[in-house]
Homo-oligomer: A and B are copies of this chain.
Amino acid sequence: MANIQQVAKQAGVSVATVSRVLNGQNSVSAKTKMRVEEAIKKLNYEPSLLGRNLRTSESRLLLILIPTISNPFYLEIIKGIEQVAISQNYNILLCETDSNPNKENIYFDLIRKKMADGIITMDPAVNVETLKKLAENFSIIQCSEYEECSGIPYVTIDNEEASYRAVKHLIQIGHHNIALMNADEKYLFARQRKMGYKRALEENGITLRNEYIISTPNLGFENGQHAMKKILNLQDRPTAVFAVSDLLAIGALKEINAAGLHVPNDIAVVGFDKIDFSNMTNPTLTTIAQPMRKMGNVAARMLIEKIKGEEVESILLDHELVIRESTSR
């Protein structure tokens, strides 16, 4: 495990010259460059990033905060982030917060202690104040879910509009009794999607029924099952369900099946996200496709710009309604 000093000695030059070769500066003569490269090869030298990072005051590490690693929705975003990060010589540290402020704090500490250069958070509902304060001194980008008045740049989709389209689709194929399986309204996206749902109903002269709106604490499969159970027990059973996450929708699918009912004949189902599994269910799931890969790309690009000290603006990306078996007979 040689260091730069030993390489310099071996090549008969100063450490500065070795460093110049290492960083591809062209103020080194071809001859010395050769000598240095030979020394590097001979000693099997690899420059330590610990030394470099201290000197340059950067870690080239980006933090990604997600509530849970179990929702495939995030995975595709992560891939998108990584793609850009790697190409710009950054690496990513994946941080599962479990929406737990304590766990989140462990990762916040990493940026406070200079072990990370920036944060992409997909879980800003926790610890908003800390996040805001942190954003004053460090580079932070919000991805998918965001805090409205935090002043922290974000990339996301138009949730209200997406939700509106999903519900409108159900109405167009003839449904009037449409349930909304929503997330906890502490999440902005939940509030937005509810608005879209309402707008679609209103525009089509359908009266909103509060008992048709069910809220779940999380976006997991089991939550979908549980919520669906409640829906199936309603007096006037809805003929369609719009779930704000594919996992919820898949849980609903399962529960409807278990009740001996048929999708979409008895109950139509629409999900949200277009995770890979939404195509593996039986029937396949109609859903709103989010441009997850692109969202990741954009978030990473924004963050890196922010780290460089540039101004960045928030961005809304497009979404798409993907009609599949769960809404077509």
Binding site for B on A (CB under 8 A): 1, 46-51, 53-54, 57, 59, 61, 69-70, 72, 75, 78-79, 82, 86, 91-94, 96, 106, 109-110, 112-115, 137, 221, 250-251, 253-254, 257, 276-277, 279-282
Sample of 10 A–B contacts (CB below 8 Å): A46-B112, A46-B114, A48-B54, A50-B53, A69-B75, A70-B72, A253-B282, A254-B282, A257-B282, A280-B281
| Given A46-B112, A91-B93, A113-B48: A70 and B75 interface contact (C-beta under 8 Å) | yes
Q: Do B46 and A50 touch (CB < 8 A)?
A: no
**Choice from B50, B112, B250 contacting A115 with Cβ under 8 Å:** B50
Instruction: Name the residue on B nearest A111 (C-beta).
Output: B46
| Given A106-B86, A110-B91: A251 and B276 interface contact (C-beta under 8 Å) | no
Q: Do A47 and B78 touch (CB < 8 A)?
A: no
Instruction: Name the residue on B nearest A137 (C-beta).
Output: B1
**Choice from B54, B69, B78 contacting A78 with Cβ under 8 Å:** B69
Please report the C-alpha to C-alpha distance between residue A225 and residue B228 in the assembled complex, in whole angstroms. Answer: 29
Instruction: Tell me, rounded to whole Å, the shortest Cβ–Cβ distance linking A176 to chain B.
Output: 27
**Choice from B47, B91, B106, B114 contacting A50 with Cβ under 8 Å:** B114
| Given A70-B75, A79-B69: A221 and B280 interface contact (C-beta under 8 Å) | yes
Please report the C-alpha to C-alpha distance between residue A279 and residue B222 in the assembled complex, in whole angstroms. Answer: 10
Q: Do B94 and A94 touch (CB < 8 A)?
A: yes
Q: Which residues of B contact A78 (CB under 8 A)?
A: 69
Please report the C-alpha to C-alpha distance between residue A281 and residue B282 in the assembled complex, in whole angstroms. Answer: 8
Q: Which residues of B contact A137 (CB under 8 A)?
A: 1
Q: Which residues of B contact A48 (CB under 8 A)?
A: 54, 113-114
Please report the C-alpha to C-alpha distance between residue A47 and residue B51 in the assembled complex, in whole angstroms. Answer: 16
Instruction: Name the residue on B nearest A82 (C-beta).
Output: B96
Instruction: Tell me, rounded to whole Å, the shortest Cβ–Cβ distance linking A133 to chain B.
Output: 11
| Given A54-B54, A93-B93: A49 and B254 interface contact (C-beta under 8 Å) | no
**Choice from B54, B221, B280 contacting A51 with Cβ under 8 Å:** B54
Instruction: Tell me, rounded to whole Å, the shortest Cβ–Cβ distance linking A92 to chain B.
Output: 7
Please report the C-alpha to C-alpha distance between residue A69 and residue B92 in the assembled complex, in whole angstroms. Answer: 14
Q: Which residues of B contact A106 (CB under 8 A)?
A: 86
Instruction: Tell me, rounded to whole Å, the shortest Cβ–Cβ distance linking A324 to chain B.
Output: 13
Q: Do B96 and A79 touch (CB < 8 A)?
A: yes
Q: 11 new A-B pairs (CB below 8 Å) besides A50-B50, A277-B280?
A: A46-B113, A47-B113, A48-B54, A48-B114, A49-B113, A50-B59, A69-B75, A82-B96, A86-B106, A221-B280, A250-B280
Instruction: Tell me, rounded to whole Å, the shortest Cβ–Cβ distance linking A97 to chain B.
Output: 12
Q: Do B276 and A70 touch (CB < 8 A)?
A: yes
Q: Do B91 and A92 touch (CB < 8 A)?
A: no
Q: Which residues of B contact A110 (CB under 8 A)?
A: 49, 91
Instruction: Name the residue on B nearest A247 (C-beta).
Output: B280
Q: Which 5 A-B pairs have the closest CB atoms?
A: A49-B115, A50-B54, A48-B114, A46-B112, A94-B94
Please report the C-alpha to C-alpha distance between residue A82 and residue B106 in the assembled complex, in whole angstroms. Answer: 13
